[in-house]
Every structure is written in C-alpha cells, then in structure tokens.
Amino acid sequence: MKNLWNDGDAERLVADYAKKGVARDLALRVYTTRLLGGEPRLVLHGGGNTSCKTKATDLVGDEWDVLCVKGSGWDMGVIEPQGLPAVKLGALLKARALASLADEDMVALQRANLMDPASPNPSVETLLHAFLPHKFVDHTHSTAILAIVDQADSKPLIKTVFGDKMGYVPYIKPGFDLAKVAADVYDADPSVEGLILDKHGIFTFGDDPKQAYDRMIHYVNVAEDYVAKNGKPKTAKAALPAKLATPAAIAPMLRGAVAVARGEGRFDRMISDFRTSDAIVDFINSAGIADYAGRGVSTPDLSIRIKTGPMAVPAPDADKIGDYKAVIKSHVDAFANDYRAYFETNDALDDVQRTMLDPMPRLTLVPGLGMFGHGRTLKDAKIASDVGEMWIEAVRGAEAVGSFHPLSKADLFPLEYWSLEQAKLASNKPKPLTGQVVLITGGAGAIGAATAKLFAANGAHAVVVDLDAARAAEAAKAAGNNSIGVGADITNPAELRAAFDKAVAVYGGVDILVSNAGAAWEGGIGELDDALLRKSFELNFFAHQSAAQNAVRIMLEQGTGGVLLFNTSKQAVNPGPKFGAYGVPKAATLFLSRQYALDYGAHGIRSNAVNADRIRSGLLTDAMIASRSGARGVSEKEYMSGNLLGQEVTAEDVAQAFLHQALAERTTADVTTVDGGNIAAALR
C-alpha cells in the first residue's frame, strides 16, 4: 500500500482551513483522515476512526484540553472539521477509573462533554482514543491486517508478523471495556507504535499526524508482505455448468427471494446491485465458497452492512434456469432460518428487549457470475457490494496464510444489536415506496416527469424512459433518489425490452410500471388514413401492451406482486370530436388494463388506469391552449379550468393519482379520473 503523505498537499490544506479559522492540528487531522478514508482496503463507508488531542476555547473564553474524534455518521474519505467533534478530555480520562460503564452512559458522558452540543455523537471508540496519550491516533479495519487477525490461533501469528512494536489486544466489543484493556496493553509497554486488535483491526499513533499515518501504512505493508510471501493461494475451484445463466436472468428471482414478506401480499422489497470482476469471480468460484461465507464477517462493524455474512448460492445453469428460482428460494430460506436461530439463541442469553432485524441476506455470492449487494436503497445495495469486495480480500488473505476464522457469531451479536443501533430503528421509518422500482414511459414529458419526481420523493427509484435520452436523464436527475434515464423508442420492442433490462441491471427488477407515453393525432374517423390509425395504435395501445408484458414477466420472476398503471386519458371513455385516432386505441388500453387486472390478480399484480383531461403538456401545448381557447372565445384560464371545480388540473395532480393507485394495496381494475370534474366523461 502506497504512502500518500505529501507535504505540499498537507500545507495547502492547513492554509485553506486557516482562512476559515480551523487550527493547524485539526486541519492536519482532516488531511490524514481523508488519506486513510480514501482507501477501501483500510476503511469503508463510515468504518474506522481517527482523533487528535488539542486545545479549544469555549464561548466564555475558557480554554480546554479536547479530543477531536471522528463523529458517527461521517465518512473518513470526505471528512470535514465538523466531522471531528471536540470532547473535553478531562472527563473522558476520569472515566478510566470506573469499573464499568454502560454504552448509554458512555454516550451520555461523551455528549455531555462536547464543546458544541450540536455535534454528532463521538465515535464508539472515543474512550480508546482518549486513554492513549498520543496526540494523533489512527484506527482502520485494513483487509491485510484482518487476514492475519482472522485466524483460529491468531495471537502467535500476530507476534510473528508484527514483532514487539505492536501491542496485542484480544477481541472485546468496542466501547468502555475495550478502551480500558487497550490502554492497559499500551501501559504495559509504552514503546509500542500501535495496537493490533484481534478479529477487529489496527490502531497506530504518533506525536504528529505524519508519524501516526506512516506507521499505519507501514504495518499494513508488513501484513501485505507477509501474506504475499507466506500465502499459498487455494486453487480448488467448484465445477461450473457448461452454460451459465446471465446476471439479468437471475436478478429478479433473487430480488424477489430476499424481499421480506409482511403477510397478505405485502413485501418490504430490496434493491440488488450486481458487481463483478475477474478477482471477484475467481474467489467466488472457490470450491469452499459456501463454507467461507458461513464463517462470518471479516471485522465486526461489517455486520451493520451484511449482517452475519454473505450467502453463497450454486452457479445458475442456463439450461436449467426454470429450476433456479426454487434453488435460490431454498438458500434464502436456509439463510433466514439460520439468522433467526442466531437471534433467538443470543437474545435469550440476557433479558434485554431487542427487536429482530429482518433475516434476509445483504450479499449474495454467485459462482461464475459475481455478487449481488442487497439493500433497501440503491446506495445501501452498493455499500453491501463494496463491503463484499473487501470481505473477499480479507478472506482470500486469511485463507492464504492459514484458515479464515473471524469473530464468532455469538460475539458479533452484541454489536449488531447494540442498544444504540436498536434505538435508531424507531426513527428510521422507510418511505411508502422505499425499495421499489418504478419504470415510467413518456418519462420526460410533463406528467411523466412529475410522476418520477413524486414517486422518487416517496422512496422509489425511477427509471425514466423517453424517446429523448438527454431529456430522460434530465428528468431522472430532477427526480433524484438515484433515478436513471433511458432513451428508447417504446414502439420498438427491442428498445423497450432494453429499457427494462437496464432497470434489472441497475436495481435488480421492476415493481411499478407507469405506462404513460402517448401522442394525439386528429381527423374525422370516417376519413382517417389507415396508416395514421395504425401508427396511433402502435404508441397508444401496443406500446402499453409491450410495456405491461415486460413488467409482468419481471414481476412474475420476482414473485412479489406489482402494479401496472396506464395513462388512458378521458378519450378512452368520452370521445372528443375528430379525436378518434387517439381515443380508439386509448379505449383499447383501458380494456387492456382491466384484462391485466383479471389475468394477474392471483399473482398479486394490480392494474389500474388514470383518465386525465386537459393537462398542460406535450400533448396540450401552450400554443394549442391559445388556439383552442381562442376558437371557443374564452380566456386560456377559463379554457383550462373549464370543469366542475373551476380549477386547472396539473401534471402534478395526475402524478398524485398514479401514486394513490400505487399505494392503494387493495385497488385493482380501477379507473381514477383526474379532470376537475366532467360529468360527460364520468365513469358509470
């Protein structure tokens, strides 16, 4: 691992922060924290922490010795000074004399001594940083270090690899007890340059930030070199089918299997992020992969991301893909049952009240293909994949020098079910569509874009499909929540299929279709050119049918139901003069919606339609509004609000109707009217 310290960069950052009133110590603390945090082989997504001991002045001018330590929720790679809250050191040091300190009391002590009460919670490892006398302390979960410490008999190996310059700390759950033992280990030999924490990671320290950082990189290199020189790569590979199924073919099955059934057709769905590389596949193809996966996580804080460890499934045979759904299901069931047993066994050991987290895997290893990270959001799914890559590195190293033997699951349990994490559960309410994927055709138009925005605001990831790829990307960006835009001519079945494939590739599947794209052509029905009517049918009927077919194909593979929503327009029930070319296929689409409701209700797939009217959009442009209102001798405002409520109906109102239909769990074969009231078009 390369040492990235650069005097010029460090001094530039110090100078930049000096202008903002940040002192040199803290600026340098930020500098090396980012160096460490930018390397996934050292820390990942909020893991690891750093500190520095310095002085700070409070609002009444008193100067205090403080510990600036990483705050919870901050990522080291992008840390800012406010991510290293200052805690009065005196109170922290006094705590060392206590015989015990409950986690909640430790947090209370830390918060009570913050210089700025608005700061985030200081790290759970704050006391360990405080009890060490050095000005700068660095802590990482380096994969190379984990390869050495995740062994059955790690203590002698740690001595062999690191010698006397590193202290050995046995595994203890992070918190007060670990801080005390680590400090005792240091006091027993103050000549050490750092501490190796069994089954957990490494601390290094120094009088200045460079010394602490240099030592971190040095000892990580010592571990890497040891693995490189003494490691014997395991070569036994599992036999793979002659023809492997594709990731896209199995993603919806897997996504469906890991969805949490809430009963009565309700599911908490997850997003699946597929990740692969030669290194990933080479390791996952190992004959022992299921065994390794079952042994657990490489360092305890990964349990927040991938629970008790990954799930390995057999390689998917393209010729037996029909049986694979059952294979996946049996593996997910086994994982979930093991997880429940793990919870029940460990929960029964004391009388603390705990809520079991869902028992589903967050990382699936698929020989021949790669791995899927699962999470309630795309971000969480990607984090699970990132964690998976580092888990693979650590296990590969551990297996090369011995046998991967991480922290036991009994020891992992108190960490995964740390009382403060449990307290967060209550405040972490998901949004109504969290974990769901909506594909919207005509997604860059007024109604499509408003729908993408509203669904994304309600937790869904939107796949915005539009003829214009650039505008689709813009609408996706405006919708937010990691939504994506896809350019496609949806009257071309191959392009429409590719849009659904993209949804599967990025999110693992589709749960909601908003089949919205349409275009209007005019002309008396008796004189219409056949070609024009057929063209209208292509977009206003067949594209709806193709989109629904694609959606249903994926929904059936997932097995978690779904919703089809069609924009059928008022024309479907109430023809407008010279508007037959538009209204006739829309009427067919309304019937189509009911046919899907009938044919797929038993699979939990609902189908509804919205018939909107007179919405300012690409179909009813400002120029058309001006011309039509002029022809009728009314103002534009009167024309647009010519309904029972006397109010203009907007694209956002239509989006609300789609959202209502998506959320109304017992509503199917419904038509929702969004026209401000038009008795002639009212449904009977």
Instruction: Kindly list the residues in this chain that would bind Zn ion in the complex (CB under 5 A).
Output: 201
Q: How far is the CB of 48 from Zn ion (least distance, A)?
A: 6
Q: In three state form, how does the secondary structure of 89-104 look?
A: HHHHHHHHHCCCCCHH
What is the closest distance, in whole angstroms, from the C-beta atom of residue 301 to Zn ion in the complex?
6
Name the β-bridge partners of 167. Answer: 195
Residue with tokens 């240099």: 214
Q: Give the residue with the Cβ less far from Zn ion, 185 or 336.
A: 185
3-state secondary structure of 220: helix
The residue number with the shortest CB distance to Zn ion is: 201
Smallest separation (angstroms) from Zn ion to the CB of 651: 49
- Report the interhelical angle of 247-258 vs 543-558 (nearest 10°): 60
Whole-angstrom Cα distance, residue 510 to residue 530?
Answer: 35
Residue 65 · residue 89 · CB < 8 Å: yes
Give the residue with the Cβ less far from Zn ion, 416 or 653. Answer: 416
CA torsion through residues 638, 640, 643, 649, sign: negative
Minimum separation from the CB atom of position 409 to Zn ion (A): 18
Tell me the C-alpha to C-alpha distance, in Å, between residue 339 and each of 31, 272, 359.
40, 20, 6
What is d(CA 443, CA 466) in angstroms, rounded to the nearest whole number? 5
Q: What values do phi and psi take at 376, rounded to 5?
A: -70, -20
Measure the CA–CA gap between 406 and 415, rounded to whole angstroms: 14
Q: How many CB atoms lie within 10 A of CB 155?
A: 13
Cβ 126 to Zn ion shortest distance, Å: 12
Least distance to Zn ion, CB of residue 78, Å: 19
CB nearer to Zn ion: give 201 or 508: 201
CB 438 within 8 A of CB 563: no
Quick one: 174 or 388, whose CB is closer to Zn ion?
A: 174
Residue closer to Zn ion (CB basis): 169 or 289: 169
Nearer to Zn ion, 201 or 585 (CB): 201
Give CA angle at 615 (611, 617), nearest 5°.
Answer: 120
Could you tell me the smallest distance in angstroms from the CB atom of residue 136 to Zn ion?
A: 17
- Write the DSSP symbol of residue 348: T
Distance CA 122, CA 511 (A): 40
User: Residue 219 or residue 343: which is nearer to Zn ion going by CB?
Assistant: 219
Most distant pair of Cα atoms in the chain: their distance: 98
Comparing CB distances to Zn ion, the nearer of 122 and 201 is 201
Tell me how far, at minimum, the Cβ of 513 lies from Zn ion, in Å: 44
Q: Closer to Zn ion by CB, 179 or 547: give it.
A: 179
Q: State the Cα angle at 35 between 113 and 388, rounded to 5°.
A: 95
Q: How far apart are CB 413 and Zn ion at their closest, in Å?
A: 17
Provide the residue type at 536 as one letter: S
Cβ 79 to Zn ion, closest distance in Å? 16
Closest to Zn ion by CB, 83 or 485: 83
Considering beta carbons, is residue 201 or 252 the nearer one to Zn ion? 201
Residue type for 64, please? W
Lay out the sheet containing 461-466: strands in order across.
484-487, 461-466, 437-441, 512-515, 562-567, 605-612, 670-674
Q: How far is the CB of 124 from Zn ion (least distance, A)?
A: 8
- Beta carbons of 551 and 516 less than 8 angstroms apart: no
CB 392 within 8 A of CB 279: yes
Scan for tokens 């705590």, then name that residue.
95
Cβ 40 to Zn ion shortest distance, Å: 15
Place of tokens 């490489």: 298
**Cβ nearer to Zn ion, comparing 43 with 289:** 43
For residue 183, CA distances in Å to 49, 134, 170, 179, 194 come to 17, 12, 12, 6, 11
